Structure 1
Amino acid sequence: MSLDLFAYPPDPQTNLLPYEGIVNDYGVILSQHEADACLKALLNDIAWRHDQALIYGKLITTARQVAWYGEGAFSYTYSGITRRALAWTPLLLQLKQQVERHLQAVSPTVFNSCLLNRYANGNEGMAWHSDDEKELGRRTVIASLSFGAERKFALRHKKTREKREIMLQHGQLIVMRGDTQQYWQHAIMKSSRVTEERISLTFRTYGGQNAVSG
């Protein structure tokens, strides 16, 4: 079963998942002017690079571009490729602190890194996966802040295959916490109707200097 969660009024204390996980929708937390300015700065100032992965011994370069920033010299490895975090930019640090303020009432969290994904249009997406690396902890909190084109974010239970979907808007914040990564996968769905760019900022807390991300 698939349910479009976007019909629900944003309520950070309402769980959008039916069981074995917690996803909260904080709604659009930035004004149109603020979100537009952030998008422009992120497009121009971030050190974007195409993601790479070793699949069956072959180096694959993705269409999607990525960047990783944080407060320490973190390194993380997935699909056979190791990446190292860059130092916070002023804008990323400002957005991190703003997101942390929004989480203060429900589950106070301090993030130490941010993985950014850039999708040129709806032909680029993110396949089903879970951010369940041990360095993140079993009940990790991941805050996702969206900019640009509206895109469908989907969650799928690993065993029952039950799905939940939400359309993420320009300036919208959602937070995954609790057992979500253990029991659910998530994805950014492709759509030929989307012609504009989208950038996602996923704020995370790694427990050590070496991290692994899926």
Structure 2
Amino acid sequence: MLFDDAPIVLPDAELRLIPCWCPPATAAEWFERLVAETPWEQPSVHLHGRDYPVPRLVAWYGDPQATYRYSGLVHEPLPWTRLLSEIRQRVVETVGRPLNGVLLNYYRDGQDSMGWHSDDEPELGRNPLVASLNLGGTRRFDLRRKGHSAIDYSVELEAGSLLVMSGTTQHYWQHQVAKTRREVAPRLNLTFRLVHSPS
């Protein structure tokens, strides 16, 4: 058994939340170091003839071949730092699967967000595993069935928690981190994944 916690039960999905995956002191140290050391970018996406900056800061790290494309953007991987390599190894030991890239999303305040989407890019392959580590402030993570407009499930992701999405989750479900008017602390999210090289 790789996990200590019961799964989140949703049809056509495999979701597990490990609330205390790393101790609070470790989560706090990782947050401070990563926020300070990461060369953050705020790319723009082109929609309806206009460019819009994404509402958060991002960075993509990975193995040399792990080029990642999403939302019309191409991310060439930054080389692994010692800290990110250490975190990746711990995540790999937990999920029992190889992972060769990590997307860092930095939500500075409640107006930074991530819209509805699925992690279903072709280079992630069929039934991808995405392991999401949360550091810093708590934010609500929403899920909805594809084709639905209403939220089907929400969970508060706290510092040190690890959410693992696998199986057919990305085929049938979308997720978001919505804007909020609540006072929230800055949050850092690391989503580890396996990117397949183009054949």
TM-score by length of 2: 0.91
Asked whether the 8 Å contact 1:73–1:86 carries over to 2, the reply is no
* Per-residue Cα deviation, 1:160-203 (whole angstroms, up to 9, x for no partner): 55611110001110100000000000001222113320000000
Q: Percent identity?
A: 34
Give the drift of 1:57: 3.0
Q: Classify the secondary structure of the residue corresponding to 1:93.
A: helix
Partners of 1:41 and 1:208 lie apart in 2 by: 30
Letter of the 1:36 counterpart: A
1:136 aligns with 124
- Against the structure 1 CA distance between its residues 190 and 17, is the aligned structure 2 distance closer, same or farther, given a 3 Å change threshold? farther
**CA–CA separation in structure 2 for the residues paired with 1:51 and 1:144:** 21
Query: Counterparts of 2:4 and 2:114 in 1: how far apart (Å)?
Result: 25
User: Whole-Å Cα distance in 1 between the matches of residues 75 and 112 of structure 2?
Assistant: 21
Q: Verify the 8 A CA contact 1:73 1:209 in the aligned structure 2.
A: no
How far apart in 2 are the matches of 1:45 and 1:148?
15
Equivalent residues of 1:141, 1:178 under 8 A apart: yes
Decide whether the 8 Å contact of 1:153 with 1:165 is kept in 2. yes
Q: Structure 1 stretches of 5 or more lacking a match?
A: 1-10
Match status 1:16 vs 2:4: no
Which residue does the alignment assign to 1:126?
Answer: 114
Is 1:182 equivalent to 2:168 in the alignment? no
The residue aligned with 1:5 is: none
For 1:72-125, what per-residue CA distance to the aligned partner results, in whole angstroms no more than 9, with x for missing partners?
Answer: 24323334332211001111111111111222xxxx211000001000111111
CA-to-aligned-CA distance 1:60-82 (integer Å, 9 cap, x gap): 21231000000124323334332
Alignment check: 8 A CA contact 1:144 1:200 kept: yes
The correspondence of residues 1-214 of structure 1 with structure 2, limited to 5 A, is 12=4, 14-103=6-95, 108-159=96-147, 163-208=152-197
Q: Could you tell me which amino acid in structure 1 is paired with residue 86 of structure 2?
A: Q
Contact 2:69 2:121 in 1 (8 A): no
How far is the alpha carbon of 1:12 from its aligned partner?
Answer: 4.9
Structure 2 CA distance, aligned partners of 1:169 and 1:140? 23
Are residues 149 and 18 of structure 1, via their aligned partners in 2, closer, same or farther at CA, if it must alter by over 3 Å? same
| Cα distance in 1 between the residues matched to 2:39 and 2:183 | 24
TM normalised by structure 1 equals 0.85
3-state SS of the aligned residue for 2:171?
helix
Closer, same or farther in 2 for the Cα pair 1:176/1:79, shift >3 Å? closer
Higher alpha-carbon deviation: 185-194 or 139-148: 185-194
Size of the aligned set, in residue pairs, is 196
Aligned residue identity for 1:52: S
How big is the shift at 1:30? Answer: 1.4
Is the alpha carbon distance of 1:63 and 1:159 closer, same or farther for their aligned partners in structure 2, counting shifts above 3 Å? Answer: closer
Distance 1:132 1:12, change over 3 A: farther
